[in-house]
Amino acid sequence: MKTSIIGYPRIGRLRELKFASEKYFRSEISAADLEQTAKEIRLYNLELQKKSGLDYIPSNDFSFYDGVLDTAFLLNAVPERYTALGLSTLDTYFAAARGYQGEKGDVKALAMKKWYNTNYHYMVPEIDDSTVIKLAGSKPFELFKEALESGVVTKPVVIGAYTFLKLARYTGKKRAVDFVEAAAAAYSEMLNRFSELGAEWVQFDEPSLVMDMTDEDIKLFDALYEKILADKQDVKVLVQTYFGDVRDCYNDICELDFDGVGLDFTEGKKTLDLIKADGFPKGKALFAGVVNGKNIWRNNYADTVSVINEIKKHAENIVLNTSCSLLHVPCALSNEVKLPESYKKHFAFAEEKLEELAQLRTILSSHSPNETAEYKDNAALHSEPRIGSDSAVKERTTALTDRDFIRLPSFEEREKIQKARFKLPLFPTTTIGSFPQTADVKAARTALRKGELSAEDYEKFISKKIADCVALQEEIGLDVLVHGEFERNDMVEYFGECLDGFIFTDKAWVQSYGTRCVKPPVVWGDILRNKPITVKWSTYAQSLTSKPMKGMLTGPVTILNWSFPREDISLKESALQIALAIREEVLDLEANGISIIQVDEAALREKLPLRRSDWKEDYLDWAIPAFRLVHSGVRPETQIHTHMCYSEFADIIKDIDDMDADVITFEASRSDLTILDVLKNNNFRTEVGPGVYDIHSPRIPSKAEIQETIRKMTERIPVSKLWINPDCGLKTRGTEETVPSLKNLVAAAKEARYENS
């Protein structure tokens, strides 16, 4: 049995590529310096993979920014606005990735989108009627040759034709089908080039095959590959799927002339069933994704061996593989010097996953797998009682009844009670929570961490920031105030640090997009809140004003979605545990006089399953109840807000209403307010603050502009339900743009009140 991986993190063990790229962007190093760093990262990864004994080592999984963008350049699908700048190839590439503003012109970047159900983002290729798809780039060939010089015949990895055409945005009349001939010709030529260079296998990544596919999609896939594979020379082609199962096109995949098929046995709920029901074609290699490429827990060898034994009944040639690219996990556990071994031994980052594949190969090649040392050690590890498991927490989640998920009285009654209590004007104004995290705030946090500032002085500093922030909001004339969130570095990390059950890494970075990386906390054990988290700051802020002060919390689904989740209990179970912890905080805030509490669910939509048919059962049926559990215990006169960082919820609009918050704020300003029609057509019940200006840009919106936006909103939303606020938190903005923007917002709301009274 052989081993393979789909791809490897390219940002570098200590984010070397990030730092070099950022230096290059600031013109502090040359293109040659950047290329050199990139090469060092690639060769380091190559050596590591070679040493681990990996049989199929990938190449071209490296990227300066994003693999989809690389493919667009490879296929000549680069909008003219970038090539017209007349920059070097590398700079044209970065212009498409990040936008360009300089002496040669001013162009925005390509759009960026979430990569399936991960926290990685890809650049959306743009194709217009004049786009001529053809093999234009040489990067995959150069990287193949580079590895060859180090003595490794790699398996080049390219985003497949189907996925590429599905992900592209078509700005003219032509659609994907109109590019079949050209794309197929480019991919065929690519195969021939690889064959000439001496490649044995080429991997085409086709994650779009795990999405719901229409008949047209299947036709497109068939048409492309019938052509691409028609005159392939002596190079073998692996079609690699991941992030789910290929239930809609399994037969097509089997019938096409692929030499290898990569299937995901980790996230693909039905993958094994497909093979059991329909068999697996003789003579093809099955690349079985059994090592999770998305999470950081040690593989359970007993489970994997039993899956492989099942697969063996149907396939002769099995290659042990990761479930997806290792891009989605951190590089090396050895970077974690502070984390005790008792935790670390349960984790496998990218480097350790290479080792797992090698061990699994040893185990599975043995006549008695269960007797191998590797198997036994692993079994012992997995049988250890979990540290951090707490029977009291389990009892609390099992004791939950339907009543715990229902807030009484009904929304309509609460709305009346709250209107009477708060007596807010029409179009109440508020913000999403954070105020600019200015240099002094960051410096104070760093000083505290380094021990240069005492805890006491840090608290004094934060108190002063809060007092200034409250005074500023009063001066601006906002109706519902916030404390500003100066004590938080990050909306998930802050709560994770204050709850039992989470652990944090030092250097376990994962690429989110381009040079941006995130360091997700790990849900290690059962979640428990053993002391109030925000009560002190919120009550202090409330003491400074007679206006309502919003308490500010992060919701359970967002906390979970931005962490590495446990695998020994379900996501639902973890979400309920976190929800119970946040619920205690909500009740504590209420008991301490906080009358409005916002529970942010910025990432609620993020883990929505890829297939619509799985939405309810696999996700919404526990995610929405988890949110309801957080606030079902508050009194009718306490107002619950929530916030979401996007407005693409047309397709889950009922579920959002079902969260039963009193008010929701979200980001509608960037999406041309199209969501407003959806709200109207669905009789959206929750009061809404659709966000009257875009905080992601430094522009200051004028009063007239905001008035116009409010006017459009009032055409679709009953005035009694409309809130006026920016579209997200202000932490990334400067004070100089925030203050005038908010002043214009308040002035516009006042005008709107006048017009509507």
Which residues are at the interface with ligand GLN (CB under 6 A)? 432-434, 485, 491, 552, 600, 602, 643, 645, 728-729, 731
Among the residue ranges 26-34, 409-417, 692-700, 722-730, the one whose residues contact Zn ion (CB under 5 A):
722-730
Is 696 a residue of the active site?
Answer: yes
Among the residue ranges 421-429, 502-510, 678-686, 721-729, the one whose residues contact Zn ion (CB under 5 A):
721-729
Least gap, CB of 489 to ligand GLN (angstroms): 11
Least gap, CB of 198 to ligand GLN (angstroms): 49
User: How far apart, in whole angstroms, are the C-alpha atoms of residue 28 and residue 25?
Assistant: 8
Which residues have C-beta within 8 Å of that of residue 6, sequence separation ≥ 6?
A: 58, 61, 157, 203, 205, 240, 242, 262, 289, 293, 321, 322, 324, 325, 326
Residue 731 near which of ligand GLN, Zn ion, none (CB within 5-8 Å, type-dependent): ligand GLN
Nearer to ligand GLN, 228 or 432 (CB): 432
Among the residue ranges 234-242, 243-251, 609-617, 640-648, the one whose residues contact Zn ion (CB under 5 A):
640-648
Q: What's the 3-state SS for 389-419?
A: CCHHHHHHHHCCCHHHHCCCCCHHHHHHHHH
Which residue of the chain is nearest ligand GLN when measured via CB?
Answer: 729
Residue 11 near which of ligand GLN, Zn ion, none (CB within 5-8 Å, type-dependent): none
User: How far apart, in whole angstroms, are the C-alpha atoms of residue 669 and residue 346?
Assistant: 44
The footprint of Zn ion on this chain (CB under 5 A) covers a number of residues equal to: 2
Which residues have C-beta within 8 Å of that of residue 424, sequence separation ≥ 6?
A: 479, 480
Residue 608 near which of Zn ion, ligand GLN, none (CB within 5-8 Å, type-dependent): none
Site string (641-670) toward Zn ion, x via CB under 5 A: ----x-------------------------
Closest among 437, 433, 434, 430 to 734, alpha carbons compared = 437
Q: Are 555 and 601 in contact (CB under 8 A)?
A: yes
DSSP H or E run through 156: strand 155-159
Q: What angle is formed at CA 684 by the lines to CA 410 and CA 656, rounded to 5 degrees?
A: 80
Closest among 667, 626, 628, 662 to 648, alpha carbons compared = 667
Closest among 355, 292, 349, 357 to 318, alpha carbons compared = 357
Least gap, CB of 319 to ligand GLN (angstroms): 41
Compute how many other C-beta atoms are within 10 angstroms of the C-beta atom of residue 402: 7
Residue 9 near which of Zn ion, ligand GLN, none (CB within 5-8 Å, type-dependent): none
Closest among 462, 459, 482 to 472, alpha carbons compared = 482
Among the residue ranges 44-52, 73-81, 628-636, 727-735, the one whose residues contact Zn ion (CB under 5 A):
727-735
DSSP H or E run through 735: helix 735-756
Residue 491 near which of Zn ion, ligand GLN, none (CB within 5-8 Å, type-dependent): ligand GLN
Nearer to Zn ion, 549 or 645 (CB): 645
Least gap, CB of 435 to ligand GLN (angstroms): 8
Strand 58-59 to 500-503 pairing: unpaired
Compute how many other C-beta atoms are within 10 angstroms of the C-beta atom of residue 613: 10
User: How far apart, in whole angstroms, are the C-alpha atoms of residue 68 and residue 469?
Assistant: 43
Least gap, CB of 731 to ligand GLN (angstroms): 5
DSSP letter, residue 234: S
Q: Is 552 in the site for Zn ion (CB under 5 A)?
A: no
Nearer to ligand GLN, 433 or 525 (CB): 433
Nearer to Zn ion, 178 or 648 (CB): 648
User: How far apart, in whole angstroms, are the C-alpha atoms of residue 144 and residue 134?
Assistant: 20
Q: How far out from the chain centre does Cα 11 lie?
A: 17
Residue 563 near which of ligand GLN, Zn ion, none (CB within 5-8 Å, type-dependent): none
Among the residue ranges 16-24, 381-389, 588-596, 728-736, the one whose residues contact Zn ion (CB under 5 A):
728-736
Least gap, CB of 91 to Zn ion (angstroms): 32
Nearer to Zn ion, 431 or 534 (CB): 431
Least gap, CB of 571 to ligand GLN (angstroms): 21
Pick the catalytic residue: 314, 346, 382, 696?
696
Which residues have C-beta within 8 Å of that of residue 317, sequence separation ≥ 6?
A: 284, 285, 286
Question: Exactly one of 34, 110, 695, 728 binds Zn ion (CB under 5 A); which one?
Answer: 728
Least gap, CB of 615 to ligand GLN (angstroms): 22
User: How far apart, in whole angstroms, are the C-alpha atoms of residue 414 and residue 699?
Assistant: 37
Nearer to ligand GLN, 70 or 600 (CB): 600
Active site residues: 696
The residues of the shown chain that bind Zn ion, judged by CB under 5 A, are 645, 728
